[in-house]
């Protein structure tokens, strides 16, 4: 037990205070993350929309998120991450109060579209802040700390949301609104007079790909190799997005799970990431061959989907969730770090915007393709397709990440001082 506690202590030691404050704000915000996990169930059960209508609405949410990421990246480069994050927190919290009263398909579509723009504007600004406040050798751990807070909040939010949804779906909108507003206020008081860390004065290593000239480095959208990377990240996230869109429907309609049980499974995924990610990142030490982390992560997600057609009890569903969590741990911290290292201080918002755009596009393609596959061929066809896409993406990222690391001469140094 002492060794375990020492391991956790060392995994979290040495990170800057600002990284902890950003993680605390993320925890507050995500502790109310109840609407998205139950959105597909809410749209079908409470509002009575068809499966195809739900697919359209969830994809519209993704379209708005795409715009939000473009907007967030541009605004971050122009005005800085503080103003963008504060605006996103406060405006999102206010808009949740409006969306909860919408019931017609057209108004719900418009409400979710604007909600996703406001929500996703936060992402590139937040990731730019995490990298800006952290020394280069601690960037991956700082990202992991922020994601740890997000996943801890996400383990609390759906669990509480499952309980609140049994009383009234309006309560989950109110809870999400209040936590967004609270996060915004806490963020303002913690960061209103704080400048980015001194490390921002010395940008991370610049890309050294001989195929890129200085003008092409001004925009991530002219970096062909990074565009391929972002596309493959999007393919991964199309599969991963099923966790928040079609998987709750699968649990409800095929396995007859209650709202509380669905919330518990969603909470388990977040809790596993919370408990394991920082320790795993710490124990890995220096990671030079990044594909050795990402490829197994992709294959674990393919395995998680492969288990679902064979599931004949809750234990198999739990095992699938475990694989889903391990996939996230081995994949997302390193793709974020690669994005930071590929960029410079001057264009980090652009690179973060393109990287986080892959999340948004995945939330356009994933729900629409998923619900149409379910409607035409059933849930099993969806899980077979997701598994195949996961294997394809693993191969693609193996090739692209090798080239990215070679061209930018990256050294993903995750090391911290030796345990004492």
pLDDT tens digit string along 255-278?
988 888 888 888 888 888 888 887
| Residue 213 forms part of a structural domain | no
| Residue 324 forms part of a structural domain | yes
| Residue 161 forms part of a structural domain | yes
> 369: closest CA among 51, 110, 125, 22?
51
The pLDDT value recorded for residue 86 is 94
The pLDDT value recorded for residue 8 is 66
The pLDDT value recorded for residue 46 is 84
The pLDDT value recorded for residue 409 is 52
Residues 6+ apart with CB under 8 A from 247: none
| 3-class SS string, the chain | CHHHHHHHHHHHCCCCHHHHHHHHHHHHHHCCCCCCCCHHHHHHHCCCCCHHHHHHHHHHHHHHHHHHHHHHHHHHHHHCHHHHHHHHHHHHHHHHHHHCCCCCHHHHHHHHHHHHHHHHCHHHHHHHHHHHCCCHHHHHHHHHHHHHHHHHHHHHHHHHHHHHHHHCHHHHHHHHHHHHHHHHHHHHHHHCCCCCCHHHHCCCCCCCCCCCCCCHHHCHHHCHHHHHHHHHHHHHHHHHHHHCCHHHHHHHHCCCCCHHHHHHHHHHHHHHHHHHHHHHHHHHCEECCCHHHHHHHHHHHHHHHHHHHHCCCHHHHHHHHHHHHHHHHHHHHHHHHHHHHHCCCCCHHHHHHHHHHHHHHHHHHHHHHHHHHHHHHCHHHHHHHHHHHHHHHHHHHHHHHHHHHHHHCCCEECCCCCCC
For residues 150 and 26, give the distance between their C-alpha atoms in angstroms, rounded to a whole number.
6
| Residue 203 forms part of a structural domain | no
| Residue 204 forms part of a structural domain | no
For residues 402 and 396, give the distance between their C-alpha atoms in angstroms, rounded to a whole number.
10
**pTM > 0.75:** no
For residues 162 and 248, give the distance between their C-alpha atoms in angstroms, rounded to a whole number.
12
Residues of the chain with pLDDT under 70: 1-5, 7-8, 11-12, 195-219, 284-288, 290, 345-346, 349, 408-420
| Residue 404 forms part of a structural domain | yes
Beta strand pairing status for 412-413 and 286-287?
antiparallel
* Residues of the chain above pLDDT 70, percent: 86
The CATH code of the domain that includes 242 is 1.20.1250.20
| Residue 2 forms part of a structural domain | no
Domain containing 311 equals 13-191+220-413
When divided into structural domains, the chain yields a total of: 1
The pLDDT value recorded for residue 2 is 65
| Residue 97 forms part of a structural domain | yes
Residues 6+ apart with CB under 8 A from 195: none
Helices 224-240 and 291-307 meet at what angle, rounded to 10? 30
């Amino acid at each position: 037990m002492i060794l375990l506690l020492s391991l956790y202590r060392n995994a979290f030691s040495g990170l800057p205070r600002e990284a902890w404050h950003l993680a605390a704000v993320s925890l507050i915000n995500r502790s109310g993350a109840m609407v998205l996990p139950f959105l597909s169930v809410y749209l079908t059960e409470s509002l009575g929309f068809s499966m195809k209508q739900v697919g359209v609405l969830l994809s519209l949410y993704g379209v708005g998120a795409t715009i939000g990421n473009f907007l967030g990246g541009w605004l971050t480069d122009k005005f800085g991450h503080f103003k963008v994050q504060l605006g996103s927190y406060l405006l999102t919290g206010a808009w949740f109060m409006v969306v909860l009263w919408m019931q017609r398909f057209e108004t719900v579509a418009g409400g979710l579209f604007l909600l996703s723009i406001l929500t996703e504007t936060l992402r590139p600004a937040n990731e730019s802040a995490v990298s800006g406040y952290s020394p280069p050798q601690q960037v991956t751990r700082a990202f992991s700390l922020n994601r740890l807070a997000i996943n801890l909040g996400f383990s609390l939010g759906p669990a509480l949301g499952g309980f609140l949804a049994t009383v009234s779906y309006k309560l989950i909108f109110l809870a999400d609104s209040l936590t967004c507003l609270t996060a915004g206020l806490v963020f303002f008081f913690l960061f209103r007079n704080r400048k980015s860390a001194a490390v921002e004065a010395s940008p991370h290593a610049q890309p050294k790909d001989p195929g890129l000239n200085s003008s092409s480095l001004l925009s991530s959208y002219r970096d062909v190799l990074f565009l391929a990377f972002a596309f493959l990240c999007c393919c991964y996230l199309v599969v991963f997005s099923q966790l928040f869109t079609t998987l709750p429907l699968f649990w409800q309609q095929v396995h007859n799970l209650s709202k509380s049980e669905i919330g518990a499974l969603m909470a388990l995924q977040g809790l596993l990431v919370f408990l394991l990610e920082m320790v795993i990142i710490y124990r890995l030490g220096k990671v030079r061959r990044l594909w050795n982390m990402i490829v197994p992560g992709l294959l674990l997600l393919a395995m998680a989907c492969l288990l679902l057609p064979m599931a004949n009890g809750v234990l198999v569903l739990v095992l699938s969730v475990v694989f889903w969590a391990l996939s996230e741990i081995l994949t997302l911290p390193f793709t974020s770090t690669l994005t930071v290292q590929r960029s410079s201080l001057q264009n980090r918002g652009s690179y973060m915007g393109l990287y986080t755009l892959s999340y948004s596009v995945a939330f356009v393609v994933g729900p629409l393709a998923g619900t149409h596959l379910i409607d035409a061929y059933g849930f099993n066809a969806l899980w077979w397709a997701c598994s195949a896409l996961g294997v394809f993406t693993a191969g693609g990222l193996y090739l692209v990440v090798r080239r990215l690391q070679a061209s930018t001469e990256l050294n993903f140094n995750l090391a911290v001082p030796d345990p004492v």
